[in-house]
């Protein structure tokens, strides 16, 4: 699985580096909490959704990923 990070920082206010760090930790299976609601961030795979990425249940964090 390859990830394309090119569009990331257009989609949220977080910095590119912050997003990469979050993505890396979630992909490694580590628990990362949403800064807003303090709930665990979930990896959404292309199999699970048409909009894969990393998000919390409330949707305040929503990092879209392009899986290629
Ligand atoms: Zn949240």
| DSSP secondary structure letters along 4-57 | E-TTHHHHSSS-HHHHHHHHHHHHTT---B-TTT-PBPEEE-TTT-SS-EEE-S
C-alpha 68 to ligand 1 mean position (Å) = 26
Q: Using CA atoms, how far apart are residues 47 and 33, in angstroms rounded to an integer? A: 23
Q: How confident is the model at residue 68 (pLDDT cuts 50, 70, 90)?
A: low
C-alpha of residue 36 to centroid of ligand 1, in Å: 5
Give domain limits for the chain. Answer: 3-67
Cα separation, 46 vs 44, in Å, equals: 7
Tell me what percent of the residues of the chain surpass a pLDDT of 70: 81
* Lowest mean pLDDT, pick from 8-12, 20-24, 44-48, 53-57: 8-12
Q: Residue 52 C-alpha to ligand 1 middle, in angstroms?
A: 16
**Strand pairing partners for 64?**
53
């Amino acid at each position: 699985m390859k990830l394309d990070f090119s569009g990331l920082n257009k989609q949220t206010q977080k910095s590119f580096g912050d997003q990469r760090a979050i993505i890396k930790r979630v992909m490694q299976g580590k628990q990362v909490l949403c800064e807003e609601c303090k709930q665990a961030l979930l990896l959404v795979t292309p199999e699970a959704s048409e909009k894969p990425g990393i998000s919390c249940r409330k949707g305040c964090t929503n990092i879209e990923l392009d899986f290629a």
